């Protein structure tokens, strides 16, 4: 009897993995802050500091371990590392569901941060199975998955949290466990054995992995583009609840509906428009357009005097989401196939750095902008800072383009 034909790696496999992973992440969004507050006597004011540290601990662990997992995926394949990452997430959710104290929440977040290589590994998988000219559209799958997760996950978590604040964590663990089984039984490996490379601690440590990007022409500047863009985006995410509650008096329900709206638009743009836009503009122009749209959206958020305006400008910001797929595709063009895992681990580390420091800047700036003794009353100042960062990222993008053009020009060294 003939052996069964091995499954061919394809985007459909990894898309299912992404959706299930982000769904689990989205489910706990509405209930994690209240759980932290519960451990602080029910006070959100007293619990906000510990919640911020909890987010920072996760990001710090991700910064350290993402390049390690990325390099391991270049050595042992994407599937094995993805299974490790999913197992870490499932353990994280179970521990948080049973956690009797803040200390256990920190233990759970440290485990999850250390194994948070799922998204970076999925990006490397996409680079493995997609030709360079189609990667921008393929990376849009990540945006679709996030859109679906943020459109459905928080709604599920909020509904389940009405019965028990602990229940969403166990449902999230179930989603990730199903994801793990899918990866173990169905998901094919995308990196052939002959394209793998030896593991190196020099490349795997976070500082070494970032410095290693300088070996590839134009990548270092594009990495700066990615970091600065993520920094500005995290500022937006970190003050959204504070800003809309203070300026428009939104209730938690209104905030949740706004996030659902953002998720739906993100999924629609990433799934339906990124391919067409990039096909029409090319990756370079797509990156420039995305950064300009993002800067415009951030500025508009900060200037909006009525809550309904936010819903109009979110559409602008959703189209600014073509920035991520464009820069990801440009970066992967400069790196060989057997180093895509390390590359995605490095980019994940950069995102982690942004997650550590951007919320601090955003919250501090917001507080200064609304303080009684402030010279100018500027509740939207953090959004203006994020808009300025998008323009700084644009400058790095142009510098990378110029370097590529200079090297590619006839007669250049």
Query: What value does the mean pLDDT take over residues 126-130?
Result: 83
CA–CA gap between residue 153 and residue 22 (Å, rounded): 8
Q: What's the CATH number for 11-188+199-404?
A: 1.20.1250.20
Task: Categorize the per-residue pLDDT at 277 as very low, low, confident or very high, splitting at 50, 70 and 90.
Answer: confident
pLDDT recorded at residue 28: 79
Query: Across the chain, what does the average pLDDT equal?
Result: 80
Q: How far is CA 179 from CA 76, 84, 87, 115, in A?
A: 20, 12, 9, 15
pLDDT recorded at residue 3: 41
Q: What is the pLDDT of residues 136-169, one digit of tens each?
A: 777 777 777 777 777 788 778 878 887 888 998 8
pLDDT recorded at residue 71: 80
Q: What is the pLDDT of residues 337-364, one digit of tens each?
A: 667 666 777 777 787 788 888 877 887 7
Which pair of structure tokens corresponds to residue 71?
């390099």
236 Cβ contact partners less than 8 Å away, ≥ 6 residues apart: 298, 301, 362, 383, 386
Q: Residue 302 above 90 pLDDT?
A: yes
Q: Where are the domains of the chain?
A: 11-188+199-404
CA–CA gap between residue 62 and residue 349 (Å, rounded): 7
Q: Are 289 and 298 in contact (CB under 8 A)?
A: no
pLDDT recorded at residue 11: 74
Query: What value does the mean pLDDT take over residues 204-218?
Result: 66
- Select the more confidently predicted residue: 376 or 318: 318
Most confident of 16-25, 70-79, 341-350: 70-79
Q: Residue 50 above 70 pLDDT?
A: yes
162 Cβ contact partners less than 8 Å away, ≥ 6 residues apart: none
């Amino acid at each position: 009897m003939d052996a069964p034909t091995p499954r061919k790696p394809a985007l459909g496999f990894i898309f299912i993995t992404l959706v299930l992973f982000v769904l689990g992440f989205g489910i706990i969004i509405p209930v994690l802050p209240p759980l932290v507050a519960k451990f602080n006597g029910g006070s959100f004011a007293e619990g906000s500091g510990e919640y911020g540290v909890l987010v920072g601990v996760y990001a710090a662990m991700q910064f350290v371990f993402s390049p390690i997992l990325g390099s391991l995926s270049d050595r042992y394949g994407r599937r094995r590392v993805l299974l490790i990452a999913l197992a870490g997430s499932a353990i994280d959710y179970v521990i948080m569901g049973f956690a009797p104290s803040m200390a256990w929440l920190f233990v759970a977040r440290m485990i999850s941060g250390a194994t948070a290589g799922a998204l970076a590994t999925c990006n490397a998988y996409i680079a493995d199975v997609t030709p360079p000219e189609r990667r921008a559209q393929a990376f849009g799958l990540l945006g679709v998955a996030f859109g679906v997760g943020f459109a459905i996950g928080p709604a599920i978590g909020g509904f389940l949290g009405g019965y028990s604040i602990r229940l969403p964590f166990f449902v999230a663990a179930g989603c990730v466990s199903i994801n793990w089984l899918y990866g173990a039984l169905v998901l094919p490996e995308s990196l052939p054995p002959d394209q793998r490379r030896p593991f190196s601690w020099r490349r795997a440590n976070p500082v070494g992995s970032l410095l290693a990007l300088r070996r590839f022409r134009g990548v270092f500047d594009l990495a700066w583009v990615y970091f600065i863009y993520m920094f500005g985006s995290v500022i937006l995410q970190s003050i959204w609840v504070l800003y809309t509650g203070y300026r428009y008096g939104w209730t938690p329900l209104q905030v949740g509906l706004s996030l659902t709206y953002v998720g739906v638009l993100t999924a629609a743009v990433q799934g339906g428009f990124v391919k067409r836009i990039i096909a029409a503009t090319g990756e370079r122009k797509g990156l420039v357009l995305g950064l300009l749209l993002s800067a415009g959206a951030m500025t508009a958020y900060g200037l909006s005097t009525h809550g309904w305006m936010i819903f109009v400008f979110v559409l602008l910001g959703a189209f600014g989401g073509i920035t991520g797929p464009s820069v990801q595709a440009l970066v992967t063009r400069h790196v060989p196939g057997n180093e895509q895992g390390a590359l995605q681990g490095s980019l994940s580390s950069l995102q982690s750095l942004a997650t550590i420091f951007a919320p601090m800047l955003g919250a501090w700036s917001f507080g200064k902008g609304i303080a009684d003794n402030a010279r100018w009353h500027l509740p939207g100042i953090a959004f203006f800072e994020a808009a300025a960062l998008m323009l700084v990222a644009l400058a790095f993008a142009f510098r990378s383009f110029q370097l590529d053009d200079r090297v590619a020009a006839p007669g250049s060294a």
